Structure 1
Amino acid sequence: MMTLPRNFRSTYSQRKDYVMTFEQRYKQLKPMIFAIIRQLNLYKDVEDYAQIGAIALWEAYEQHTEEDGAFEPFAYTVIRRAMIDELRKRVRFDDQTVLIKKEETLDALEETHFSFEQLVTSYDTVQAIVQQLTDEEKTLLYEQYVNERPNEWLARQFDVSIEAVKKRKYRLKKKMQRLAKQKTT
């Protein structure tokens, strides 16, 4: 009776790696591509990332040598790296796009001219609204919009929960809208 060596399976699978065509390898590792997409929490452009994963799998298939070890871990690393690189490119592009849009908005605001009467009327309206607020509401308004304090800081300052701060901000906004509507009518 013939006995098989202990490492027969790993030896066999390594040999099998080099015999498989790319199409077979793609069918075998397609679930891995989508698993990486899920691990990276990519929910937009899933098809694009699946395509990037397939291209990265092709590159891994072409680059892999025996010295790299088993193919699956090598392919996993190459695919994941390609997706992260693409994600970084898109984030960088989005950041640059937002900066350009902000600059365009600032330029448009600079081009908008308000008359002195409009500015005084707006200032007087805001001042009249703020005078009708309680001291606590004024403090909340000042800390939130002038000092740009986060909700956590405001919660500690007012000794309430973060949810209570959110509710107070919501009520303050509604009150100011109501007062502004009364002032303009």
Structure 2
Amino acid sequence: MLQQGGNRERDVEFELVFMEYKKMIHHLIHKYNIQDPQGEFFQEGLIALWNAYQRYGDRDSFGKMAYITIRSRLIDLIRKKNRRAEKETATDLISESAYTDESINTFDPFFWERIQNALTDKQWIFVRRKIIEGRAYKDIAALENTTVDAVKGWGKEVKKKLKTLLEEES
């Protein structure tokens, strides 16, 4: 936690600041209903506290600045995690490689039947062409006589439905 080769007196001062402000980090984690079993958010809050201390430690407004800095960093981490989760696609869940029509049924026919029943015809076309056959958006649009944007729209809807469907399974 302490910097090697840093100002020892400043490090000892930070230890006191940490003891005083760690409750603030826990408060913000609780306030935003963050589940933090690995302590990742607490660690981010601690780093933010250190940064605030380095920058504003000698000011009367340190408490406010520490609160704002910690809160901002926690919110940034939440947003980062949400963006990462949104970018996950059905292809990540299955595999990057394409499957043949024969291998799709040997994979798990009940799984694919359940997926197909949950989707519209256009959405199933997206799953079949993109995920199973591994085709590009442009190729799918040409095959289906539509636009690339339309195909991407089908994909977004598929992602939403698959996410809900897979969450129900767990």
TM range (shorter): 0.3 to 0.5
TM-score with structure 1 length normalisation? 0.44
Higher helix share: 1
Q: TM-score, normalised by structure 2?
A: 0.48
